Amino acid sequence: MDEADEIDFASGLQAFESKHFSRAIQLLSPLAIKGNADAQHRCAIMYQNGLGVAANPAAALQWMSASAEQGYAIAQHGLGFMYMEGDCVEQNGELAVHWFTQAAEQGLAGSQTTLAMMYEQGTLIEKDEAKANEWYQKAGF
């Protein structure tokens, strides 16, 4: 990132955190297009929830996927959640587990816990007590 992009990114994050979403999308969209995974993730959230822009499930999925595919753990968790809930995409347990696992393997406790619960309850996937216990242990339970 060049200096101008760094300033826009910092300003975009500030706007996002301050809930000035229309300004955040204006600053972060160009950076998302350039491949910034954090900007892509935040744009996905704004499109998913209609924050500062009209809700756009296709754009939310596009940006969440782009960020997740770069290995951004929080976006991987978000994409797993989209597939688990059928939010912006058709519900798919296999893809939910894939993305939660990607994030969980990076140490994201929320993904580890979600995987454990999915395996324990047999939510969208086959029940597996051993895998549930393994993920609960990794999450610190």
Residue 1 has pLDDT above 90, yes or no: no
CA distances from 68 to 44, 56, 64, 76, 128 (A): 11, 18, 6, 4, 26
Q: How confident is the model at residue 138 (pLDDT cuts 50, 70, 90)?
A: very high
**Long-range interactions of 58-65: CB distance < 8 A, separation 24+:** 58/88, 60/88, 61/88, 61/89, 63/32, 64/40, 64/88
What tens digit of pLDDT does each residue of 37-57 get? 999 999 999 999 999 999 999
The structural architecture, per CATH, of the domain 72-141 is Alpha Horseshoe (1.25)
DSSP calls for 56-124: -HHHHHHHHHHHHHTT-HHHHHHHHHHHHHTSSS---HHHHHHHHHHHHTTT-HHHHHHHHHHHHHTSS
- 17 Cβ partners below 8 Å, 6+ apart? none
What tens digit of pLDDT does each residue of 84-100 get? 999 999 999 999 999 99
Q: Which 8-state DSSP code applies to residue 23? A: H
Mean pLDDT estimate for the chain = 97
Which sequence spans correspond to the domains of the chain?
1-70, 72-141
Residue 104 has pLDDT above 90, yes or no: yes
Q: What percent of the chain has pLDDT over 70?
A: 100
Q: Residue 32 corresponds to which tokens in the numbers above?
A: 């998302």
Q: What mean pLDDT comes out for the span 104-120?
A: 97
CA distance 138 to 73: 16
Global confidence as pTM? 0.94
Q: What mean pLDDT comes out for the span 53-77?
A: 98
Q: How confident is the model at residue 123 (pLDDT cuts 50, 70, 90)?
A: confident
DSSP calls for 111-126: HHHHHHHHHHHTSSS-
